[in-house]
Every structure is written in structure tokens, then in C-alpha cells.
């Protein structure tokens, strides 16, 4: 079964520290946690200063509760598959990633990971599924940039930092 602790260093390696890029739709962000996400977990009055000082425990709580657990990734057999679907959730939100991957799997796209979605993930040919999810994610990101060219500055980061089978056990 997949393990969140194996994906955590990958995400943190790419996220870096605090930024507040005016072109980033997420606004103020630290270690990949946007101010909006931080407030969902720590209250609507949480400040940018508090986000700047996010603890490792707070980060892990948000990562597990907000991204890993909605995917029920502990129940995904293959680490590489868990890595790519959770990383997609990290970049685009869990509902979006779940719905997109459900489309790849050919199961009902209801944004909820249940027994059918998990069975489809775990019973698929893992290399083919990884490639199909990766292709769908690239297409998704390219469509964002096509609709809003200001987001092109983030394209390389999203395209080249997606987990690969080297980062898991595929």
C-alpha cells in the first residue's frame, strides 16, 4: 500500500518557501499551502504572517487531511499511482484530480473516491494507468494555459515536476 511519507519529500522539494506572486491564483503561499487553504484548516481569520510561520505539523496535517486522505491513497497499492494522483490534487484540488482520474478510469466521475474508483485503480495495468493519468494531467494543465496565457509562467513547473515512476515503485 502507498505511504504518504514517501510523497512528502517530493512535494516539499518543489514547493520551496513563502511566495506571494500576483499572477499566482493561489495568492500568498508557503510550502505549497495557499492562504485560502490555510484558512480552511486554521480559521478564516488566519493571517499571512501565520502562513509564513507554518509548522511542519500544520503542513503535514493539511497534506494528509486535504489531499492524501480524499484520495484514500493509503488504499492505493502502487506508490507511483498514489504519488501522481495526490500530486495532481495538490496542484489542482482534490475534487478536480479525482474527477479527472475517474474519467481516465471510465468510472462515474463523482469526485468521491469509493470502492469502485479504488478497484479500478488497483486492478488496472499500473504502467498504462500511470501513463494515461500523466497524459491527462498534461492536457489539463495545457488547457489552463490556453484559457489564460498568464499562467504559462507556471507551466514548466507543473509539467516537469509531476512525479514519475522513478519517484515511486512502478
78-125 residue pLDDT tens = 999 999 999 999 988 999 999 999 999 999 999 999 999 999 999 999
Pairing status of strand 29-30 against strand 18-19: antiparallel
Q: 145-151 long-range contacts, Cβ below 8 Å, gap at least 24?
A: 150/23, 151/23, 151/25
Alpha-carbon gap, residue 46 to 71, rounded angstroms: 26
Cα distances (Å, whole numbers) of residue 35 to 56, 66, 147 = 16, 14, 24
pLDDT of residue 170: 53
Alpha-carbon gap, residue 121 to 104, rounded angstroms: 10
Single pTM value for the model: 0.87
The pLDDT tens digits along the chain (170 residues) read 999 999 998 888 878 789 898 877 788 999 999 999 999 999 999 999 999 999 999 999 999 999 999 999 999 999 999 999 999 999 889 999 999 999 999 999 999 999 999 999 999 999 999 999 999 998 998 898 899 888 776 666 555 455 565 555 45
Residue 34: phi and psi, rounded to 5, are -80, 160
Amino acid at each position: 500500500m502507498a505511504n504518504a511519507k514517501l510523497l512528502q519529500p517530493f512535494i516539499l522539494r518543489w514547493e520551496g518557501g513563502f511566495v506571494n506572486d500576483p499572477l499566482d491564483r493561489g495568492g500568498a503561499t508557503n510550502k505549497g499551502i495557499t492562504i485560502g487553504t490555510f484558512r480552511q484548516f486554521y480559521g478564516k481569520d488566519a493571517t499571512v504572517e501565520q502562513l509564513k510561520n507554518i509548522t511542519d505539523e500544520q503542513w503535514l496535517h493539511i497534506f494528509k487531511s486535504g489531499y492524501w486522505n480524499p484520495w484514500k491513497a493509503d488504499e492505493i497499492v502502487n506508490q507511483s499511482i498514489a504519488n501522481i494522483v495526490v500530486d495532481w490534487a495538490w496542484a489542482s484540488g482534490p475534487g478536480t484530480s479525482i474527477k479527472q482520474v475517474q474519467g481516465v478510469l471510465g468510472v462515474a466521475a463523482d469526485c468521491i473516491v469509493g470502492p469502485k474508483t479504488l478497484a479500478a485503480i488497483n486492478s488496472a495495468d499500473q504502467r498504462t494507468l500511470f501513463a494515461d493519468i500523466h497524459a491527462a494531467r498534461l492536457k489539463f494543465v495545457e488547457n489552463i494555459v490556453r484559457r489564460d496565457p498568464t499562467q504559462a509562467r507556471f507551466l514548466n513547473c507543473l509539467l516537469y515536476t509531476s512525479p514519475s515512476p522513478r519517484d515511486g515503485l512502478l
